[in-house]
């Protein structure tokens, strides 16, 4: 079955960077887009950016444009998201999610990874 499995919980200091991963299985990796989203504690959902693993093309939310980098490794069917200059406001559960190109909806989602930014 289609699965997105994310890396584990992280704790970071303010000003540091984080890099989390999302490993896909159960489908042809290069035929779907992978997105990154987040959900702050008891808050709603926020979209960060996406990648097309077939060509590495990325598209980022302008709210994160200057500090997000999303990459993919087709040899391991894994997508990575790096976020720099972390602050306490970046404390959230980070999800990866799959999109059929041009449908604009996400299915399935990874299990989520909690990233805590604290001094």
Binding site for another protein (CB under 8 A): 35, 44-47, 59, 61-62, 95, 97, 103-112
**CB closer to another protein, 18 vs 112:** 112
Smallest gap from Cβ 36 to another protein, in A, equals 11
Nearest to 111 by CA among 99, 101, 97: 97
**CB closer to another protein, 16 vs 109:** 109
Smallest gap from Cβ 67 to another protein, in A, equals 17
Q: Which helix (H) or strand (E) holds 80?
A: strand 78-83
Tokens of 97: 């999610």
Cα separation, 105 vs 103, whole angstroms: 6
Smallest gap from Cβ 2 to another protein, in A, equals 11
**CB closer to another protein, 76 vs 111:** 111
Smallest gap from Cβ 4 to another protein, in A, equals 9
Cα separation, 14 vs 28, whole angstroms: 37
Within 13 Å and on the Cβ side, how many CA atoms surround 110?
28
């Amino acid at each position: 079955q289609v699965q997105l499995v994310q890396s584990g919980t992280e704790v970071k200091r303010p000003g540091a960077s984080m890099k989390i991963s999302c490993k896909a299985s159960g489908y042809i990796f290069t035929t779907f887009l992978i997105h990154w989203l987040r959900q702050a504690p008891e808050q709603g959902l926020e979209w960060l950016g996406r990648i097309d693993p077939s060509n590495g093309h990325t598209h980022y939310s302008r709210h994160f444009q200057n500090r997000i980098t999303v990459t993919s490794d087709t040899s391991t069917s894994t997508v990575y998201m790096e976020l720099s200059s972390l602050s306490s406001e970046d404390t959230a559960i980070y999800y990866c999610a799959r999109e059929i190109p041009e449908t604009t909806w996400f299915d399935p989602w990874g299990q989520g990874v909690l990233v805590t930014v604290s001094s």
